[in-house]
Amino acid sequence: MSGKGAEYWTKRISEQEMPALSSTVKTLEKLAKDDVSSLAILGRSVMHDNALTSRILKVANSAIYNKGISHVTTVSRAAVVLGFDTIRNICITAKLLSSLLENKGLSEPVYHRLLTLMARAFQAAMLAKMMLKDHDEELQEEVFIAALLYHLGESAFWSMGGESTEQLDARLNQVDEKEASAVVREVLGTSFTQLSMGIAKNWGLGEVLVKSLSNPNERTPEIRSIYLANKISELMASDTKDVAELNHRIKQAADMLDLEVDEFKGRMIRCSHATRKLADTYGAKVLVAFLPDTHQLTLSAEPEAEPVKVREFNVELQLKKLRELTDCAINKANFNEVITITLGGLLDGIGMDRCAVMLLSPNRKRLQPRVVVGDNSDKMKNEFIVELSHDKNVFAESIDLKKPLFVENPSSDKWRLYMNDELRRHTSAAGFMLAPILVDNKVIGLLYADRHSSDRKLAAEDFDRFTHFAQLTNLCLSVSVH
């Protein structure tokens, strides 16, 4: 399967995998050169595709495009009102999203990879367009589509599904980002950039896209905005957050627009909200959860926040709580009393920032916080829901093994395959601890603890103390049900 080269993959994607998208794009690009007949043909060329037509009209009538003009009900009318370039782009975007997202035969990891990549591209397209908002609309639209299709080769490859995508996905999971391009070249016989270039030329996808792929460092505003928008989206979506590099790229973009960094960040956050709305309007709601999180933006360069209250290790309080748990076992105390003492001991005795008792749902496919104490407890209680039905993860592992786990570094080789993006968002990058809550040797949930707000590392002794509390908790709960 390996080493076929750019020509082979371009041909295969254009002719076998995505012929409908390829022919739509080619038709639209031809029409762009023929203003007179283009509007009527454009209307006809999408008319037989009802889903595409309704999507185009929905987007054309959305607040982002339709600035107070009356509601449009036909594609050719929309093209007159909004201009051919805008409608062509809406058409390509709608067709691209449906072609890539509707391939049902993808494995879970490959589909996840595709969604992450497409969400990133969608965000980059909106950012690039926002960066050129003082230029004419034609250029903005060209830049939008070029940024959206910047990783078309890679997206098209993943959307094919099948053995070659699964093999490459497995290989890429074993290497870091620096080695990834060598692995891609070995398996495909070309790079994803070369493949994007091959498709762009084959489909006649405009000069701006070809130029941005072949000469990304060119200093013209359009090429620069495509390059920076893709870089920023990539950095924001990356598992290993390189805050310094992200701030460097944001500063470059702000300088290009002659703006203060904070002003540019504000625009980025507004742009992110607009992107979420637009993805939804395109019927690509599934992408919304994968869009890069702008929450980190506001925090990375803000003035000093209130100092975090650090709870130190307190041996006296810890012993007091352990004695109270022993009393609970003797007196057969109820669940709530036991849990309250345990969480107090973990929080103020061992010196955690936040702790939770997470209980399994009746079908055992989800974990939800029942009691949370410490910093940002409300946020954690409302948002920290762990799905267990998908791929293996560290929470499911603790439940299956019925044993406590010490995740000292979630991004290490030991743990990274047990962590997905959702878990990374909710847990602490500095590490966390889990222990099963057992009643009659059956797991009913997990104890969770971390030092999320102060970002302090956890030590082996912390885990020993945490485990001691977990064991006593389980003893109390088992006694209380008999």
CATH number reported for the structural domain that contains residue 463 in this entry: 3.30.450.40
pTM of the model: 0.60
Residue 309: inside a domain: no
Reference 140, options 150, 148, 131; nearest CA is 131
The pLDDT tens digits for 119-144 are 999 999 999 999 998 888 888 888 99
Among 277, 300, 323, where does a domain finish? 300
Contact 300, 247 (CB under 8 A): yes
Residue 404: inside a domain: yes
Contact 261, 254 (CB under 8 A): yes
Residue 308: inside a domain: no
Of 29-38, 125-134, 225-234, 267-276, least confident by mean pLDDT is 29-38
Give the total number of structural domains in the chain: 2
* Same-domain status, 67 and 168: yes
The pLDDT tens digits for 408-452 are 999 888 998 899 888 888 899 889 999 999 988 899 999 999 998
* Same-domain status, 289 and 358: no
The pLDDT tens digits for 211-238 are 888 888 888 899 999 999 999 999 888 7
Average pLDDT over residues 177-206: 88
* Same-domain status, 285 and 321: no
Residue 305: inside a domain: no
**Alpha carbon of 477 to those of 212, 346, 381, 396, 441: distances in Å?**
63, 17, 22, 21, 11
* Same-domain status, 275 and 362: no
* Same-domain status, 20 and 113: yes
Domain residues for 14?
Answer: 6-300
**Alpha carbon of 145 to those of 58, 255, 260, 399, 464: distances in Å?**
18, 24, 27, 46, 54
* Same-domain status, 286 and 170: yes
Dig out the tokens for 292 from the structure: 């890069």
Could you give the 3-state DSSP secondary structure of residue 218?
coil
